[in-house]
Structure 1
């Protein structure tokens, strides 16, 4: 075989691969020569932020990653937790932000396909999909196109592959105008006796390529995902992958069947960086090497060169290490499912990735140089908060117009509290997401217990393949959460609040929070402000997870989420550390949703009686067009108590509905509880001279849950509250009639809104904006 050449590359060629000059020099030092084109491309994708986390890895080390239920933590394709009774759950979240900005349908669709592969690569059957989506203002035509394309892509892939999309969140804010966020999460139930991992083992064992063919789609997708979006990004459509959900369905079944034979030693999804990533990571994790012959790879295009083979991110492909002598057994399985399966290489003792092509060595690189011994940047943290944050923190509610019992002036227009509640319900971030989730198949597999929009978290029955539904009482709850305005204004407190809200949402359906997977969406860490946001948010996530006993099992870091303004200045998104959390439900017969269930039920507010804040609130942003103040802070002692009381009340059958206070505060939470079953409520709130009325109605606060209970069990319920929440609760009203009435404690009316009027605003908000 011929020797690899040593011709140096130009600065432009190096930059085209997303590498810095000093990184190129490090490559030369490690190889002892200049790389060839294929090798340069391999380093470009594997040393991208998307693959190696070179800016974030030092920060991720502070996350708690172990616990009594954690079976697999960070470092594998997905995390795995023990649900008890022999049940094991795999789960993971990943981003597909930049591809979705350029090609919304395929970007979102392949995001779903990729996260599903992370799940079944572990030996788990996918049972649910969630998502977390962020878009710009719907008054913008491009935003509407991206929004509609992303939703269509998610629904198309999930529906066709036969996995229910059961929950998620959708936010709209101008901060995401040029850079939407598309984060996909998946859950899977382990079907194999052993969890399938990625580390190669057994020198001489064959390496199998299985699944779809390789083409030129998705070229350099990892590098594309690790750079700012610019006007030229629309020219990067070839970097966006193209998915085939029907082929993926066959791949799921073939892989699970193959894993059950015991003949698969290791498995790795060909996601970001394709063949390059799968070969180098499998080799590095096993402290061995892999030799792969590109001539064996099934292709769908002619004339491909090694660079294209190695950087292609064609979808629905996997790499296996098989037991020697059993490769044909596996090949036969994949052929029965009409999929490609070939022996393309073998495990070697030398810890390198050696790529062969047409009788020559096309690339030869130490595996660790690509997979784990990659560049790390330790950046300096600002000694004090940046100017934008300090200025925002100086804001005081007293700067708002004075208000009375009727309402207040907004600009030159006087608006009543009724007007303001209806305006908030009409805000796309708060409004019904029915337009979105009606496109998703929510009930395929027949295990979805609560439909999207009906509760603060999704609930899915955990049913082994051979079990009858009636035999399965265990359920898993899941949610995705993050108020990015909170994180923007105070990254540390905002990140803590995201973890706390995720746990609170699980507790609102009766689930015990177990663990998280996170998707850290931020701007450039090379900017001092961007790194300050990232570092403090990571610290907040770490501290909150320790406080709530929810270890981090893995996740995804997506940086450089920013676009250039008209002056060529990068504008970053709001820092958005999305928290995907799973929880255990011992008995799916003892859960509840957020809507009132019965007239005459009493309404209670669980949580601190501390003053809510208008800082960072949806009310302040939507009504007064102001993003300022500090977000609510989380008292973890109280948070744990409130959540435990809520879970206990649900499992005792005392609580008929539960809904946490989030965007829009108490008034919006009450309205949302009314809307579900068209049942009104009459509520009284305490008013003091030191508190603004809009703070009472629309201010936001951590650790608060509104619940309804039957009048028949009030004595037992209140005895329990006195013993377990001390004074941090109050009875505030009664369910009934056709209006939401909020009164002061001396019976002055603040809000009196017909439920039908609330529903009309809330239900049509998104759809009417799409018809512009």
Structure 2
């Protein structure tokens, strides 16, 4: 390295640089030279390459994401919105809750265990950086075909990574989803969500202000694992051969993270930090540039003071490394000693690596030589903005015209019965207990509801029983048929799931999983889904607080189904009033809420019985969703229902089977007059739920539904040890349970 690397770069404008190998486009490299007025140094090139990657800069998506701000509904509960590590909402009694969902898709395909484990670790640190104690995690997952040999490699590793990391942290895993589809064969989706709790006054933001304040890096040493990491991996497609980017996957240490959490929370309690940022995607490049960019001055960093696991790392590698379990704090000089004392107490390595300056530049030195001199905003917040071309694909009309209504239906009651068993035993509709039983769902003792409930729920105040509920949902089949409606159906289902447990939906986070943005058809899907989600949130009054975009989920020319995953967070004043899904009391009356129409496009029945995808997804009526939610919340609060289950994939029959099996009680059901038994059981019309009403509450409940204009049809009673549909079939619960529970263990064995 030259005596002054920055000056050397200025004096050697024609020196060749590996910008293309680092993922930069020619015009992006030219733009960097324009910003700096010279060619970048090697360290600067490394920083720009990871920070301007798709994963970090949102360069293809931000022109569409701005709708979330432009269309944001007024919501007094929103305390911190898009732009910080995670969104924060007011849940009452002085408490604030922060939550976020992100992706770790590509790393989890290459190294399933470490990819999934570090996905959990990264989202937990995002929540911690807001000032909150993490209290629960969730994992929406998508895998390839259930019977594909590679699914046996990826799924157990991902599940073990999630369980291993989360269980070691002592965080309950309270929900999520597991979906199988051949479109995810080369691009499984591993999305991770974390929820954290704090008091309003404890909120922390990622900014570096106050000249003379110290920059402290604390946590694990920096290693060679994760160099480039998700910032590179998630910014390109896999080719048709197996990926070979193994060194780019981070390696997690949950025990180190647990120490980091407790250490950070003690530091927060003593009010020792002026700004804080976790180190995730893009590592130190991200933390230093984002902190400086969001602050009021500049920053000087002595990179050679960074504690290393591998002394051979170059400055570029140190800046790009995404080694886990690291945080960066801005601390006033008078508080540094106490900060370091607390870190030593928790056996957490902490090092002063720089300070905030009065200037406007991010300057990084290596053994006294300046290797970086950049405007921090140009790295962190002023990357490229692409207006990618997008167009409705020419195959969309034919796909929508291929209506599921034309598919052969059961010819008689015996075939109807057989298809019910086929549905509930199919990989997507079968019990996921083999997976969720590997997660500790009840550690900390505050879990009120967990899988297979409609939403996870945790108590956040032991004295008042205040709690929050979270559900994640997304149906790629619906979104493939109609991305706009598909995104709104994901929002509606998660909203409905939260309300079904008795919690009032407040806000959302999203993880938008799509193929290559360089494909105009994919960008059309993304634009439509984003528009649908923004419009839906505006109607429901649930602001988007943050989230993640995951693009390039594509192998060769084959993209995944557009898969917007939506997480809805709700608040419940008293968790003892929550509503479970299980039918537990014989004699309770079963009511179907909402309208059932012949809607089978993208349905589980069409997939399981006919391997078909075509037609239109169910209609979306967000005002009906809002009304249904109000009824479910009021009924839960006032003790009018003892069980509730939303209707979604698999329709009414899937909900009935799950509620019967979970509660251990059977049900006798009558098909309403004028409704085809097949449509009654398998339709996936949205805006519906099935509830179990105590006989003593029937009149009060039906009066409430009638007064508010919600259709409520009595369809049966909780009774016996079988699911009986009058005039059609009887299926003993033991037979249903065998079909429902054997599938997933059989796939993995």
In the superposition, the TM-score normalised over structure 2's length comes to: 0.97
Q: Is the 8 A contact 2:516 2:552 kept in 1?
A: yes
SS at match of 1:702: coil
Instruction: Report the counterpart of residue 360 of structure 1 in structure 2.
Output: 369
Q: Is the 8 A contact 1:404 1:693 kept in 2?
A: no
Is 1:351 the counterpart of 2:351 in the alignment?
no
1:668 deviates by 1.3
SS at match of 2:244: helix
What is the rounded CA distance, in whole Å, between the counterparts of 1:679 and 1:595 in structure 2? 8
Instruction: Report the counterpart of residue 746 of structure 1 in structure 2.
Output: none
Q: 1:337 aligns with which of 338, 341, 346?
A: 346
Is 1:93 the counterpart of 2:76 in the alignment?
no
Alignment of 1:581-730 (within 5 A): 581-609=568-596, 611-686=597-672, 688=674, 693-726=677-710, 728-730=711-713
SS at match of 1:154: helix
SS at match of 2:549: strand
Is 1:369 the counterpart of 2:371 in the alignment?
no
SS at match of 2:472: strand
Is 1:224 the counterpart of 2:233 in the alignment?
yes
What is the rounded CA distance, in whole Å, between the counterparts of 1:3 and 1:422 in structure 2? 69
Q: Are residues 58 and 159 of structure 1, via their aligned partners in 2, closer, same or farther at CA, if it must alter by over 3 Å?
A: same
Q: Is the 8 A contact 2:139 2:191 kept in 1?
A: yes
Is 1:211 the counterpart of 2:219 in the alignment?
yes
Is 1:56 the counterpart of 2:64 in the alignment?
no
Instruction: Report the counterpart of residue 285 of structure 1 in structure 2.
Output: 294
Is 1:123 the counterpart of 2:131 in the alignment?
yes
1:354 deviates by 1.1
Q: Are residues 353 and 184 of structure 1, via their aligned partners in 2, closer, same or farther at CA, if it must alter by over 3 Å?
A: same
Q: Is the 8 A contact 1:123 1:192 kept in 2?
A: no
Instruction: Report the counterpart of residue 497 of structure 1 in structure 2.
Output: 489
Instruction: Report the counterpart of residue 766 of structure 1 in structure 2.
Output: 744
What is the rounded CA distance, in whole Å, between the counterparts of 1:368 and 1:62 in structure 2? 22
1:679 deviates by 1.2
Instruction: Report the counterpart of residue 437 of structure 2 in structure 1.
Output: 438
Q: Are residues 72 and 561 of structure 1, via their aligned partners in 2, closer, same or farther at CA, if it must alter by over 3 Å?
A: same
SS at match of 1:238: helix
What is the rounded CA distance, in whole Å, between the counterparts of 1:702 and 1:725 in structure 2? 17
Deviations 1:315-373 (A, max 9, x none): 01111110122111101110111111111001112222211101101122110111111
What is the rounded CA distance, in whole Å, between the counterparts of 1:220 and 1:607 in structure 2? 50
Alignment of 1:206-355 (within 5 A): 206-221=214-229, 222-230=231-239, 234-355=243-364
Q: Is the 8 A contact 1:405 1:693 kept in 2?
A: no
What is the rounded CA distance, in whole Å, between the counterparts of 2:245 and 2:372 in structure 1? 25
Deviations 1:472-496 (A, max 9, x none): 3101001111111101110000000
What is the rounded CA distance, in whole Å, between the counterparts of 2:179 and 2:275 in structure 1? 39
1:612 deviates by 3.2
Between 679-688 and 512-521, report the one with greater CA deviation. Answer: 679-688
Gaps of 5+ in 2: none
SS at match of 2:333: coil
1:9 deviates by 8.0
Instruction: Report the counterpart of residue 466 of structure 1 in structure 2.
Output: none
SS at match of 2:747: helix
Q: Is the 8 A contact 1:642 1:725 kept in 2?
A: no
Instruction: Report the counterpart of residue 549 of structure 2 in structure 1.
Output: 557
1:238 deviates by 1.0
1:439 deviates by 0.6
Alignment of 1:411-490 (within 5 A): 416-453=415-452, 455-463=453-461, 469=462, 471-490=463-482
What is the alpha-carbon root mean square deviation over aligned residues? 1.6
Is 1:386 the counterpart of 2:378 in the alignment?
no
What is the rounded CA distance, in whole Å, between the counterparts of 1:403 and 1:259 in structure 2? 62
What is the rounded CA distance, in whole Å, between the counterparts of 1:687 and 1:389 in structure 2? 36
Q: Is the 8 A contact 2:4 2:371 kept in 1?
A: no
Q: Is the 8 A contact 1:288 1:351 kept in 2?
A: yes
1:697 deviates by 2.0
Between 398-407 and 620-629, report the one with greater CA deviation. Answer: 398-407
Is 1:751 the counterpart of 2:737 in the alignment?
no
Instruction: Report the counterpart of residue 133 of structure 1 in structure 2.
Output: 141
Q: Is the 8 A contact 1:403 1:692 kept in 2?
A: no
1:403 deviates by 4.2
Q: Are residues 546 and 15 of structure 1, via their aligned partners in 2, closer, same or farther at CA, if it must alter by over 3 Å?
A: same
Q: Are residues 191 and 339 of structure 1, via their aligned partners in 2, closer, same or farther at CA, if it must alter by over 3 Å?
A: farther
Is 1:401 the counterpart of 2:374 in the alignment?
no
Q: Is the 8 A contact 1:192 1:260 kept in 2?
A: no
SS at match of 2:337: helix
What is the rounded CA distance, in whole Å, between the counterparts of 1:601 and 1:113 in structure 2? 44
Deviations 1:274-326 (A, max 9, x none): 00000000011114221111111111111211111100001011111101221
SS at match of 2:18: helix
Instruction: Report the counterpart of residue 523 of structure 2 in structure 1.
Output: 531
Gaps of 5+ in 1: 408-415, 464-468, 565-569, 744-748
What is the rounded CA distance, in whole Å, between the counterparts of 1:9 and 1:231 in structure 2? 36
Q: 2:187 aligns with which of 175, 179, 182?
A: 179
Q: Is the 8 A contact 1:484 1:494 kept in 2?
A: yes
Q: Is the 8 A contact 1:11 1:21 kept in 2?
A: no
Q: Is the 8 A contact 2:132 2:202 kept in 1?
A: no
What is the rounded CA distance, in whole Å, between the counterparts of 2:598 and 2:290 in structure 1? 48
What is the rounded CA distance, in whole Å, between the counterparts of 1:626 and 1:693 in structure 2? 21
Instruction: Report the counterpart of residue 26 of structure 1 in structure 2.
Output: 31
What is the rounded CA distance, in whole Å, between the counterparts of 2:14 and 2:541 in structure 1? 50
Q: Are residues 659 and 12 of structure 1, via their aligned partners in 2, closer, same or farther at CA, if it must alter by over 3 Å?
A: farther
1:505 deviates by 0.1
What is the rounded CA distance, in whole Å, between the counterparts of 1:233 and 1:262 in structure 2? 48
Q: Are residues 160 and 192 of structure 1, via their aligned partners in 2, closer, same or farther at CA, if it must alter by over 3 Å?
A: farther
1:719 deviates by 1.4
Instruction: Report the counterpart of residue 740 of structure 1 in structure 2.
Output: 723
What is the rounded CA distance, in whole Å, between the counterparts of 2:306 and 2:602 in structure 1? 53
Deviations 1:541-589 (A, max 9, x none): 101111111101100111000112xxxxx21111111111110010111
What is the rounded CA distance, in whole Å, between the counterparts of 1:589 and 1:458 in structure 2? 14
1:699 deviates by 1.6
What is the rounded CA distance, in whole Å, between the counterparts of 2:147 and 2:623 in structure 1? 42
Is 1:46 the counterpart of 2:51 in the alignment?
yes
